[in-house]
Amino acid sequence: MVTGLLARAWWDRLRGRLEPRPYPFEHAALLESPLRQLFASPRRVFAALDLKPAERVLEIGAGIGYYSLEATRRIGSSGRLICLDIQWEMLVEARRRLRAAGSESAEFVQASAEYLPFASGSFDHVILVTVLGEIPDRSQTLREIRRVLRPGGRLSVSEQLPDPDFVAPDTLRRQLRAAGFVEEATRKQFPLAYTSTWHVGK
């Protein structure tokens, strides 16, 4: 049953790859599939993200909050997490889940990643987990991310197959270097997945 739903969702997304688009809310339940929990659990992914207590963090493409709760745990009550998504339905579900888990520190913002509604230098860390490939104008998005990061702030991108929007490591490096980011580390977490962390260059 789950395997069939996964295959259908993957095929639906693959058919639409002529133009990048957000992960559809109608398939949101599959974001917690057993396969993803086994190979891309929040703890496994965030072990490579290296979030620090009290950081101001922007999660772009937060979706239903699958990774958001782990982010709040790592930055603590003194930190600040902004969950951003272009789909309001995703944010409603994310808010419900985080509040049910007792997290009150996260804020929820509906906006496009290409035009971030924040002042320059607002964040210590920006994270994107299997999101970058869904964004139509990556160059504009990376410029915006660099703008809202403080000097020396970090950007972490996590990618996983078999996501149809997967961004290969070499492609990511080329795009981030062109946007003025400096690579800190790229960690292969398990077969066909990686997390890459960068900081704002001078």
DSSP character at residue 134: G
Cα–Cα distance list, 129 to 121, 140, 160 (Å): 21, 18, 8
pLDDT band, residue 31 (cuts 50/70/90): low
User: Average of pLDDT values for 51-55?
Assistant: 93
Find, among 128, 163, 135, the residue nearest to 39 by Cα.
163
Predicted local confidence at residue 73, as pLDDT: 93
Of 29-43, 87-101, 159-173, 185-199, highest mean pLDDT: 87-101
Residue pair 61/22 in contact (Cβ under 8 Å)? The answer is yes
Q: Thinking of the domain 2-200, which architecture would CATH place it in?
A: 3-Layer(aba) Sandwich (3.40)
- Spell out the domain ranges in the chain: 2-200
59, pLDDT greater than 60:
yes
Share of the chain above pLDDT 70, in %: 79
Each residue's pLDDT tens digit, 186-200: 988 777 788 999 999
pLDDT band, residue 201 (cuts 50/70/90): confident
DSSP character at residue 21: -
- The DSSP string of 71-104 is HHHHH-TTSEEEEEES-HHHHHHHHHHHHHTT--
Pairing of strands 181-190, 106-110: unpaired
Share of the chain above pLDDT 90, in %: 61
Predicted local confidence at residue 28, as pLDDT: 47
